[in-house]
């Protein structure tokens, strides 16, 4: 009985969600992908820099 009530509440709450429209979704997706790529490149460069510094002191 508890599981049925849980899914009923989930269904009720999902109807209240404001889903993004197509243009918003595209904008958010581009923002997320750009941020992830930027962070990946940033940390790759930091890692390469630290690796080079460590090789200097070997």
The pLDDT value recorded for residue 27 is 97
Q: Is residue 1 part of a domain?
A: no
Q: What's CA 13's distance to the chain center, in Å?
A: 23
Q: Is residue 5 part of a domain?
A: no
Q: Structural domain tally of the chain?
A: 1
The pLDDT value recorded for residue 15 is 92
Residue 58 predicted with pLDDT over 90: no
Q: Is residue 46 part of a domain?
A: yes
Rounded mean pLDDT of the chain?
95
Residue 42 structural domain: 33-58
pLDDT class of 31 with cuts at 50, 70, 90: very high
Q: What average pLDDT does this structure show over 33-38?
A: 98
Q: Is residue 57 part of a domain?
A: yes
The pLDDT value recorded for residue 48 is 97
Q: What is the DSSP string of 1-57?
A: -HHHHHHHHHHHHHHH--PPPHHHHHHHHHHHHHHHHHHHHHHHHHHHHHHHHHHHT
């Amino acid at each position: 009985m508890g599981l049925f009530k849980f899914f009923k509440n989930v269904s009720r709450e999902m109807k209240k969600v404001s889903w993004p429209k197509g243009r918003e979704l595209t904008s958010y997706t581009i923002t997320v992908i750009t941020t992830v790529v930027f962070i990946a490149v940033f940390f790759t460069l930091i890692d390469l820099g630290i690796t080079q510094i460590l090789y200097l002191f070997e």
